[in-house]
Amino acid sequence: DVKVTQSSRYLVKRTGEKVFLECVQDMDHENMFWYRQDPGLGLRLIYFSYDVKMKEKGDIPEGYSVSREKKERFSLILESASTNQTSMYLCASSLAGGQSYEQYFGPGTRLTVT
């Protein structure tokens, strides 16, 4: 079974803090994704990566950055957390090409910024 793990299920941070969310997958997938999910807004793509050290902006990259130094690990960084970044953050991975839409998601990190 594909396993995607995220470093924390729940996280509380203060406004202005730098926040790191870590994601690890164990299936040698090329693609990795970061989404946020908010009530009424569905899933929105923040960033994705199709290879080590490669990244592409999604729909809402502002206020976020990412890092992919190893194939299995994809980190999301909130440079200076703000209250409007309170959300559920979901990491996903997939194979490349036509299988890229069979995405395997982690359990999510519920981040609260106070």
Partner 1 sequence: DAKTTQPTSMDCAEGRAANLPCNHSTISGNEYVYWYRQIHSQGPQYIIHGLKNNETNEMASLIITEDRKSSTLILPHATLRDTAVYYCIALEYGNKLVFGAGTILRVKS
Q: Which residues bind partner 1 (CB under 8 A)?
A: 4, 42-43, 45, 58-59, 90-92, 98, 100-108
Least separation, in Å, of the C-beta of 102 and partner 1? 5
Q: Which residues contact 38 (CB under 8 A, 6 or more apart)?
A: 44, 87, 88
CA dist 112 → 41, 58, 64, 86, 105 (Å): 17, 22, 15, 5, 20
Least separation, in Å, of the C-beta of 50 and partner 1? 13
Nearer to partner 1, 4 or 111 (CB): 4
Query: Are 38 and 102 contacting, i.e. CB atoms less than 8 angstroms apart?
Result: no
Least separation, in Å, of the C-beta of 114 and partner 1? 21
Nearer to partner 1, 3 or 70 (CB): 3
Nearer to partner 1, 16 or 107 (CB): 107
Least separation, in Å, of the C-beta of 15 and partner 1? 26
Q: CA 80, CA 71: separation in Å to the nearest integer?
A: 26
How many other CB atoms sit within 10 Å of the CB of residue 87? Answer: 20
